[in-house]
Structure 1
C-alpha cells in the first residue's frame, strides 16, 4: 500500500477519534460537574516506510498517532439552586461515593435522599462520609452542610443541631491519571492515590455546571468534519488517478 494512502488513513483514524471525543463533550454540556476532554496526537515515524516508496531515501514518512486524551480539570460555572442537597466544590476535591465496584469519585453534587435515608447521587450511589454513608432520620429537617463538609440537621422538634456525618473530600496529585467510568464517576486509576482534601470547600445550594464550551466544541466538530471530508476526497482522487493509469497502461501495445 502506498505511503500517501497510509498517511491519509492514519489521519482519518485520528480525526474519527477526535470526533468521538468532541461528540461526548457536547452530549454532556448540561451534565453537572462534567470535565471536558481534548484529543492528544503525536508524530509517528515509521522507519521501513520511505518517501516516494524509494528504499534508498533517508526521509522517513511521518504518520499521525492518537496519543490519548487530556482532561480539562478547571472548575465549571456555579449555578445557584437554593436546594439544600445541591453541592458545589470550590477547589480540586471530589466527593467519594460507594458503588458495587468499590469507591468512586465525582464532582456531581446533585444529591438526593433515598428511601433508606441515605444521601445518594443521581445514580443512587451512597455518598460517603468519614465513617461511611451519611444517613438521615425521618424526623430530620433543616439540613445544613458547612463549607468543611460537616452535615448537620435539626432533629424532630428540637432546636439543637445534630451531626449526621462529614463529607469525605479527596483530591489527587495528578488528576489526569483518574479514569472516567460513566455516570459521571471516576476511578483512581494506576498510580493515583486519593488524599484527604482540607483546602477545598463546599457550597450548599449550588451546582457546578459542565466546563464544556458548547460553541467552541461545535466549531471544532465542523473543523474536524471538514478535514475528514477533505482527506476522503483526496483519497478518492488518488484512487481515480491510479485507476486511470492502470487503464492507460493496459491499452499500450505489447
Structure 2
C-alpha cells in the first residue's frame, strides 16, 4: 500500500513538471523565434530483494524520474513584414548578442532588430547584436540600411558589419536564460553556409497551440486520476488502521 502511494506521488511530480513545460510553451505562442520544449521522463525500477525465500517473490516497482526537457528546433513559420531590420534565421543557426553587465554572449532566434539611440544594432529587448568584428553601429545620417542573406549589414556608405551567426554541436543542450535568450555549455562555432537569414521577415514561435492544448487536457486528466487513486489508497489505509485498532 505504501509503495502505491510513493508511485502515485512520483507520477504527480512528473505531471506537474509536464504542466509547467506546457504552460511555458503556451505563454510564448506569440514570441518571435521561440522554440518549444518537450518533457522527458524515465522509468525507475526499485531494487528488489535478492533472497529466494519469498513466496511469491518481490514484485518490481516502477517509479517516474524527471529527465529534463528537450528543445524542439523545428523551424517556426516565417512571416513577411517588409521591415528591412527584421530577419528570419534559417536552419539551426542563432544570432549572437551581448548579454547585459558583461555577461558574455547569449544566443537568440528573435530577429526583430532595431537601432538604438547610440546607433547600435540591437534586439527588440535592447541587447546589442554581435558582429564578426565587434558591435555593429550605424550613423543616423546613413540611409538604405539592408541585411543580406549572410547577415551582412549595409547602408548607402557601404558594409557596416556582419551579424554573428553561430551554431552548436548539440543545439538541444542550449539552456533558456529568459528574455528569449539561450546560453550554451559548449562553445559556439561559426554557422558558415548553415547560417542564412531572410530580410524583411520574422520567424514566429514554433509552438503548435492545438497540440499543446491537447497535451494540457491529457495531463490534467492523468493528474486527476492519480490524485483520486492516492485519495482512495489513503482512505483504505485509514480504514485498515481503524479496524486493526479495534481487534481485541
* TM-score band, normalised by shorter chain: over 0.9
Q: CA deviation at 1:40?
A: 0.4
**Aligned partners of 1:243 and 1:91: how far apart in 2?**
58
Alignment partner of 1:198 out of 164, 171, 192: 192
1:21-51 Cα distance to aligned partner (Å, 9 max, x none): 000000001101110100001111121589x
Instruction: Report matched runs for 1:3-18 at 5 Å.
Output: 3-18=3-18
Runs of 4+ in structure 1 deviating by more than 3 angstroms, as ranges, are: none
Show the counterpart of 2:66. Answer: 66
1:200-241 Cα distance to aligned partner (Å, 9 max, x none): 211111000000001100110111011001110111111111
Contact 2:76 2:205 in 1 (8 A): yes
Q: Which moved more, 1:12-21 or 1:90-99?
A: 90-99
Unaligned runs of 5+ in 2: none
**Aligned partners of 2:122 and 2:4: how far apart in 1?**
54
**Aligned partners of 1:49 and 1:240: how far apart in 2?**
28
Contact 1:32 1:108 in 2 (8 A): yes
Contact 2:71 2:173 in 1 (8 A): no
| CA separation of 1:233 and 1:58: change in aligned 2, threshold 3 A | closer
Q: Give the aligned CA root-mean-square deviation in angstroms.
A: 1.7
Q: CA deviation at 1:244?
A: 1.8
Q: CA deviation at 1:243?
A: 1.5
Show the counterpart of 1:219. Answer: 214
Provide the aligned length of Structure 1 versus Structure 2: 242
SS at match of 2:66: strand
Within the alignment, does 1:112 sit opposite 2:114 as a pair?
Answer: yes
Contact 2:36 2:72 in 1 (8 A): yes
Q: CA deviation at 1:76?
A: 0.3
TM-score (norm 1): 0.91
**Aligned partners of 1:2 and 1:59: how far apart in 2?**
14
1:65-96 Cα distance to aligned partner (Å, 9 max, x none): 01111111011000111011111012211111
Show the counterpart of 1:158. Answer: none
Contact 1:3 1:49 in 2 (8 A): no
Within the alignment, does 1:245 sit opposite 2:240 as a pair?
Answer: yes
Alignment partner of 1:122 out of 100, 124, 132: 124
**Aligned partners of 2:49 and 2:180: how far apart in 1?**
43
Instruction: Report matched runs for 1:12-27 at 5 Å.
Output: 12-27=12-27
**Aligned partners of 2:245 and 2:149: how far apart in 1?**
80
Contact 2:108 2:182 in 1 (8 A): yes
Contact 2:34 2:110 in 1 (8 A): yes
| CA separation of 1:109 and 1:20: change in aligned 2, threshold 3 A | same
**Aligned partners of 1:193 and 1:168: how far apart in 2?**
14
Q: CA deviation at 1:193?
A: 2.0
Contact 1:96 1:168 in 2 (8 A): yes
| CA separation of 1:251 and 1:184: change in aligned 2, threshold 3 A | same
